[in-house]
Structure 1
């Protein structure tokens, strides 16, 4: 079947070293997978077909390697691992989504109960006085009403409720992915901003020392005011960066606090800048499954299944309703204590057909069919967006890895140039202003190198966030 469907495809190739992607996509493929559906959607079958389709696209096959389950543990950070566990346990958005899932499961049980007879036990006693004539009566009855689902309307409603519950479960999984990815990004950003703050503090201290030396030289007539003022300007420039990094650190703590259900003051993090030196790589055991099992794709499929089932139920409402009513009980005339009672029972088959309501029922069926088509179109869009998102995350990772490599080289050369300029200045070969320019170059290069390191690490997290289909299922083992 896949071979037949892939004949609809148009091949396009995207390549970028060191990551390569080959994408073969078409909305027509997804349409052909689902256009033949007439009643209940077979979610497992379509997930398998989707996995085969993603495999044919050959996205990120070169990243195949170690299993990505609990991928953030590559960083060997006890603090980060604890933050992830706290977020999964205490995040209020997750708790809200879990309660909504429980509500959806309860609604599913309500729909399933319609397969069973409905009714109950009724016991009553009555005493009446008319013109001093007192009469007594008592009864006990067990009444049942059984809606016979001969045409499958109730079954379609149960399928819709089940799809709604599964959709809510996928929404919960998507939220877990977002929470974990945000925690890892927030922790990395905090450690990166802490590193930048330390670098700026060291530069401020070095510039202050230089100003003291220059001030003494100006008084002795060895240096001039221009060199001193240029150094003071550079010091002010670096000092102006400290409030920004302080705010960035607080913002990271605030983000982590919100994700873990706490206040900013309750989070204390220590320096773990070693995470940027560890071999943190993006590897996927099964790249095709990592995309095909994404919760946004599964949720869109379940939403389409729910809309399709409701459309079937609306069509079945055009057919007669067949039910069976029955009761059995005892009746006592002249007594309020069920004495001298008489048995009674009744069985009443019933057919009800709302012929006069046909125009309204037809309009309702048409409305639900339009909603089903809309859900199907949304499913197509989600699949396309998921594939594009996966490719874009790889392109972003490629860009930041290249930028990091060049930024590291720039800092290396700038540092060498500064050391050479310092030696030449000490020997009197160049004026102080050239040494100051060399210092400024190395400061900018160092800041760019740190930013590139942080950006590349965050891009790796974004890649895992995009290829989330497999590791998100492994969260239940935490």
Structure 2
């Protein structure tokens, strides 16, 4: 009966060992072929390098990015998670070596007379990894380290792009404040002239009322513009780990108007495959599969060798401590624990399948986000061109209106309408420039695999974390 039960359990172990999880390597290759077959239609003026932000040719921005990559708290936290993963991997690798240490034992047995024995020496146990349990745990540790590194690279991307985005938003908000102030000054000058004309009876009170309305409308915009300016500065200060009150910034009008390169079309597929989120999801899948393999190995016998080298003393048998050594092979097989182990394997298989689904979902999300970014980039370019033409037309219209008003060809209300149109065109032009700059950043962020990998390697080398 016992022999038959053992045979059944052994057969179950072999079946479970053969019925491994789905072949995720083949599925991974299929996903890579899918990414490689995609066409994103990205047009670029230049290749995007690891230090793409230097294309803005702004020393202040370069310094902010450098500070953020070295001092951002979220990024510093990821370094500790990488450190933890490295330590865990080291512990897993050391399990392949004999384990043990110095031991000291004392024993007293009462058998009609007390018999004492003692021993001191070095005791060690070495697990022979015949079925790959320890190797699978090491694989899981390596994959977990890869997860931590990809998470670090993802944060590096977010911090780098976030600094540039916040910097451009700060500059746009600064320009908006300056535009509103300039408009207020111009409207105040116009109001003074109009007030004199009303007093002299040249112009009606309606013209002055309209001038006051437009002036107050611009004044009402100023507090919100200043608040936006401070918020952008606060976001930037958080990224560089500094108080907003102590962060000093100089105007950077060229940065907002810069047109930087986006990833070349022939590198877009490579950039997608090297994205940190895709790499992290794949590493998480590899980790969960490796944990499942380690659990499967527990279905097989575990072999180990136990040894001792030291001094022993048995009272009334020996004359004192004597040198001794022993070595003993050991085999254990958790036959009675099979139901528990099988359920753990089943549970881990579900975890691995969920990880694959998440990996696949990450790819789908990444492709969709990249396509949205490319589409938004094209539309932002069109809007930037259109608002540029509208601004030029409004500026010309205002100049003509001023000339005609001086010559008496049109009334003040017509001049006021031209001025209002010009003010609106200014704001639209600034918003379009910011949207276009943000769209450029969106494409760089989505197709981040190449540059973030290179920047990450540089960061690891600079911090001494490169293996």
TM-score past 0.5 threshold: yes
Alignment of 1:180-329 (within 5 A): 180-284=160-264, 286-329=267-310
Tell me how far apart the structure 2 counterparts of residues 159 and 118 of structure 1 sit (CA, whole Å). Answer: 20
Q: 1:120 aligns with which of 101, 104, 107?
A: 101
Q: Which of these residues, 84, 89, 95, is aligned with residue 70 of structure 2?
A: 89
**1:4 matched residue in structure 2:** none
1:401 Cα deviation (Å)?
A: 0.6
1:147 pairs with 2:110: no
TM superposition shift of 1:440: 0.6
1:84-132 Cα deviation digits (max 9, x unpaired): 011011111111111011001100111111111111112467999xxxx
Q: 1:64 to 1:206 in 2, by over 3 A?
A: closer
Q: Distance in 2 between matches of 1:350 and 1:248?
A: 71
* Structure 2 residue matching 1:384: 3-state secondary structure: helix
Structure 2 distance, partners of 1:46, 1:295, is 16
Instruction: Summarize the Cα distance change of 1:415–1:65 in structure 2 as closer, same or farther, 3 Å threshold.
Output: closer
Instruction: Note if 1:345 corresponds to 2:318.
Output: no
Which one of the candidate residues 295, 303, 312 is aligned to 1:331? 312
Q: Distance in 1 between matches of 2:323 and 2:25?
A: 50
Q: For 1:337-360, what per-residue CA distance to the aligned partner results, in whole angstroms no more than 9, with x for missing partners?
A: x98422333322222111111111
Cα deviation, residue 418, structure 1:
1.4
Once the two structures are overlaid, the 10-residue window that deviates more, 386-395 or 167-176, is: 386-395
The reply on whether 1:369 has 2:352 as its aligned counterpart is: no
The answer to whether the 8 Å contact 2:40/2:374 transfers is no
Q: 1:46 to 1:64 in 2, by over 3 A?
A: farther
Change beyond 3 A, Cα 1:339–1:106: farther
Tell whether the 8 Å contact from 1:40 to 1:159 is kept in structure 2 after alignment. no
2:419 counterpart of 1:439: yes
CA distance in 2, matches of 1:51, 1:295: 14
| Deviation at residue 390 of structure 1 after TM alignment | 1.2
Which among 135, 146, 171 is matched to residue 166 of structure 1? 146
User: Unpaired runs of 5+ in structure 1?
Assistant: 1-35
TM-score for the superposition, normalised by structure 2: 0.87
Matched, 1:411 2:387: no
Question: Could you report, residue by residue, the CA deviation over 1:267-287 in whole angstroms, capped at 9, with x for unpaired residues?
Answer: 101111012333423243722
Measure how far apart 1:46 and its partner are: 4.9
- Cα deviations by residue, 1:156-191 (Å, 9 ceiling, x for unpaired): 111111101110100000000000001000101111
- Cα distance in 2 for residues equivalent to 1:423 and 1:404: 29
Q: How does 1:38-57 map to 2 (within 5 A)?
A: 46=28, 52-57=33-38
Task: From the superposition, tell whether residues 160 and 438 of structure 1 become closer, same or farther in structure 2 (CA, over 3 Å).
Answer: same
Is 1:156 paired with 2:136? yes
**Does structure 2 retain, via aligned residues, the 8 Å contact 1:126–1:137?**
yes
Q: CA deviation at 1:388?
A: 1.3
Q: Could you tell me whether the CA contact under 8 Å between 2:274 and 2:453 is conserved in 1?
A: no
Q: Is 1:59 matched up with 2:40?
A: yes
- Give the secondary-structure state (helix, strand or coil) at the position aligned to 1:151: coil
Distance 1:399 1:453, change over 3 A: same
* 3-state secondary structure, aligned to 1:472: helix
- Structure 2 gaps, min length 5: 1-18, 460-467
From the superposition, tell whether residues 365 and 111 of structure 1 become closer, same or farther in structure 2 (CA, over 3 Å). Answer: same
CA contact (8 A) 1:40 1:309 kept: no
8 Å Cα contact 1:300/1:382 also seen in 2: yes
Checking the alignment, whether the CA contact within 8 Å between 1:200 and 1:238 is kept in structure 2 is yes
1:258 is paired with a residue whose SS is: helix
Q: CA deviation at 1:40?
A: 9.4
Give the superposition deviation at 1:50: 5.4
* Kept in 2: contact 1:39–1:308 (CA 8 A): no
* Alignment match of 2:79 (pick from 93, 98, 109): 98
Q: Which residue of 1 aligns with 2:89?
A: 108
C-alpha separation between the residues in 2 aligned to 1:140 and 1:283?
A: 67
Higher mean C-alpha displacement, 116-125 vs 163-172: 116-125
RMSD of aligned alpha carbons: 2.7
Does the residue aligned with 2:304 lie in a helix, a strand or coil?
strand
Deviations 1:401-457 (A, max 9, x none): 111111111111111111111111111121111111111111111100111011101
1:139 Cα offset (Å)? 2.9
Distance 1:108 1:339, change over 3 A: farther
Native 8 Å contact 1:292 1:469 kept in 2: yes
> Which residue of structure 1 aligns with residue 60 of structure 2?
79
Displacement of 1:255 in angstroms is 0.6
How many angstroms does 1:325 deviate by? 1.2
